Chains A and B, each alone.
Chain A
Amino acid sequence: MEKTALVEQLKTQIIEALLLEDLTPNDIDPAAPLFVEGLGLDSIDALELILLLEKQYGIRVEDPKERRDALQSVNAMADYILSHKSEG
């Protein structure tokens, strides 16, 4: 899957997983930080995003430093997924 399509898919999955009912995919800036600023997500959301990576993409992120980097933004999530897919 190309990154652009993956980013759009992730936006929809994030809205669904985090119950962001008032948002549409267009409201999410893929380059904006997911936590504190941007969507203003918190630690419970981080857990849900890790689950999303595991359930939807089969990727387990064990290392805390790697988690932080992978969940910086929607773009970062997409890059992380693509890099792991290419490794696989």
Chain B
Amino acid sequence: MHAYLTSTGLISPQRTFENDFSCGLQTEGAAILPAIEPDYRGLISPVQLRRMSRILKLGIGAAQLCINNAGGLQPDAIIVGTGLACVNDLEIFLKSIIETGEQSLSSIPFINSLHNTVAAQVARILKIQTYNNTHCHRGASFENALLDALMLLHEKEHKQALVGGIDEFSMHYYNLLPAKVVTGEGAGFFLLSHLPAGKNSVKISAVRTFYAPGEDFIARFLAEQHTPVHQLDAVLLGMNGNPSDDAVYHRLIDNFFPPDTRLITYKHLCGEYHTSSAFALALAAHSIAAGAFPAPAVFKPGKSAKPQKVLLYNHYQNCNHTLMLVTG
């Protein structure tokens, strides 16, 4: 199963909403990386904007950017992956339940507190009443949404799927984290098609999720894709600065990837969050199209050929491990 990338729309802690993937914004020393948001009035009507919480603006803004970048092409499926979804409005709603003794509750935080609110609102705004699904699987949420899209497109009943990964920063959740890492947020949407949009279409060749996998899962994944590890032009690793999380990546760097492998990292640019791999996919797709990765993302330069075969590996708290193979 595979799909072709027609367009992306990304709102992140970098100026990606302007399709600027130079990743030049300095993030060193920051504990929290908030998303840099566009002027939503150019993307969402003021009437609709009025009741939207921040995560809704992030998600719907990114979805609209993606559709605009595709020249207005309409999807026939909307699929979203999210770890915590509209967690801030959920907190407001739960707090008001406690404070008012379940009486006189405002409807707006309730409407904005559901996990599938973003996918539903995107469908309502784009007037798309076909397949609509939201996947919440902690650190593999975005990849599960992608898998859903790949299966839909494989069945050929749908031609275009709009797939998103969204999560917003929550101070409450941040305070509960046992180990503090640079925490971010973002919304990335991708219009996927069963056919290439042009000669240089980036292809999502394979996506796989694992829960607490064994030793050889990357080797087995690459073997299934008939891609020897030395053929990879770059590997994007989800290093987040936490020594115990990063030890997993360092073991692979030392023992699995050839010494000349170009290594790319991205969480110092977008922060850690459940669907940060949506940022990684957008970065990989943009870099394949541009022929190079932005300098701030290069962890180890390795081979210098234009990136064509790129592996994305991420894990969330060493439980949810995910792999994507993206090719030019």
Contacts and interface: CB of A to CB of B under 8 A. Distances in A.
B46 A22 contact: yes
B107 A48 contact: yes
Contacts of A55: 104
B47 A40 contact: yes
A40 B48 CA distance: 12
A19 B51 contact: yes
B248 interface: no
Contacts of B107: 44, 47-48
Contacts of A51: 104-106
Interface residues of B, number: 10
A19 B92 CA distance: 15
Nearest to A20: B50
Given A18-B50, A19-B51, A21-B50, A44 B111 contact: yes
B50 A48 contact: no
Interface in B110-162: 111
- Give the interface size bracket for A toward B: 10 to 19
Interface string A43-68: 01001100100110000000000000
Interface in A18-39: 18-22
A20 B47 CA distance: 9
Contacts of B46: 22
A19 B50 contact: yes
Contacts, number: 21
Interface string B84-109: 00000000000000000000111110
A51 B109 CA distance: 14
Contacts of A44: 51, 107-108, 111
Contacts of A54: 104
Nearest to B105: A51
B103 to A, nearest CB: 9
B2 to A, nearest CB: 42
Nearest to B111: A44
Contacts of B106: 48, 51
A22 B45 CA distance: 13
B108 A19 contact: yes
A44 B106 CA distance: 9
B104 A48 contact: no
A71 B31 CA distance: 47
Contacts of A18: 50
Interface in A58-85: none
Contacts of B111: 44
A19 B46 CA distance: 11
Contacts of A21: 50
Nearest to B52: A19
Contacts of A40: 47
Nearest to A54: B104
Interface in B28-64: 46-47, 50-51
Nearest to B107: A47
A48 B47 contact: no
A24 B47 CA distance: 16
- Kindly name the residue among A19, A20, A40 whose own CB sees the greatest number of chain B CB atoms within 10 A: A19
A72 B47 CA distance: 20
Nearest to B41: A22
Interface of B: 46-47, 50-51, 104-108, 111
7 contacts: A18-B50, A19-B50, A21-B50, A40-B47, A44-B51, A48-B106, A51-B105
Given A22-B46, A48-B106, A54-B104, 15 more contacts: A18-B50, A19-B50, A19-B51, A19-B108, A21-B50, A40-B47, A44-B51, A44-B107, A44-B111, A47-B107, A48-B107, A51-B104, A51-B105, A51-B106, A55-B104
What are the nearest 7 A-B pairs in CB distance?
Answer: A47-B107, A19-B50, A54-B104, A51-B104, A44-B107, A51-B106, A19-B51
